[in-house]
Structure formats: structure tokens, C-alpha cells
Amino acid sequence: MLFRILLLTASVLISGTGTAQQKQLPLIELSAGMHRIEAELAANSGSRQIGLMQRTAMAPQRGMLFVFPEVGSQCMWMRNTLIPLSVAFLDDRGRIINIEDMKPKSENTHCATKPARYALEMNIGWFRSRGLGAGSLILGIDKAPPGN
């Protein structure tokens, strides 16, 4: 029995599709007004590609901050992502450019309407339920590492 558990754990870590590998991403604390956000950092190509794939749930205050190496035309999709998400595209200062709702397991692209430096994914409807939209400021972005 112990061998089966170890084998399963090893296969999850090797495949990169389980949450065990994803839990190792560093966290950054952000805020939107009085709302606190614990965001996992996806600041390199590998972590940005995996994103929130294969997750079955996410705590209400949790999210993922995608840090891109430069401001540009950023787009997201939901291949192998199992939970519905809202993505806010942010400029260099953390101001929301636009927010898009994304359906699970979809390859439809959702893009920033202007050049963006960051994308913040939260559970679907998180931004709307807190009255946040284009022009709202996400604080703490200045503590994010540069993307690579």
C-alpha cells in the first residue's frame, strides 16, 4: 500500500498535472480596496503555462498573478483548467484594464484590450461581486518579481 502511495505521488510530481507541484509557487499579498488577495506567482514561462490547470477548487481569497516579462498584448485560455475563472488584465501600476470571464476546459482566448504587464485570475465573479472593474487599482503589484 505504501508503495502505491509513493508511486502515485511520484507520478503526480513528474507529470506536473497535479496540485502538488503547483503548491510550491510563491505567494504575494495583494489588495483591492479592503479586499485581501493571496496570489500564487506565475512569473516564468513554465509556471505561466501551467497556471491553474487541473485544480478542482480555489479558496475565495486565493488567485494567481501572471507576471509577463514586458508590457504587451496578453491573452489567456483555459485548456485543462477545471474551474471557472475571471481574469483581470493589469497595467504596470496594477490598474485593471479589463476583466474577462472564462469557462473551464475552453481554448477560447481572452485578451487584454490594451497592452498589459500582469493578469490576475480569481474565481469567476470575484471582481464583479466586489464592485471592481476597469480603472480599479490592485495594490502590492510593486512587490512582484520581474517576469522572465
Q: Helices (DSSP H) in 16-53: which residue ranges? A: 19-22, 45-50
pLDDT digits (tens, 9 = 90+) for 48-90: 999 999 999 999 999 999 999 999 999 999 999 999 999 999 9
Prediction pTM value: 0.84
Pairing of strands 62-72, 75-76: unpaired
pLDDT digits (tens, 9 = 90+) for 27-45: 999 999 999 999 999 999 9
Q: What is the mean pLDDT of residues 10-19?
A: 37
% of the chain beyond a pLDDT of 90:
84
The closest of 109, 62, 102 to 86, measured between CA atoms, is: 102
The closest of 13, 71, 22 to 48, measured between CA atoms, is: 22
The full set of domains in the chain, from first to last, is 26-143 (2.60.120.1140)
Quick one: pLDDT band at residue 11, thresholds 50, 70, 90? very low
Quick one: pLDDT band at residue 15, thresholds 50, 70, 90? very low
The secondary structure element, H or E, covering residue 112 is none
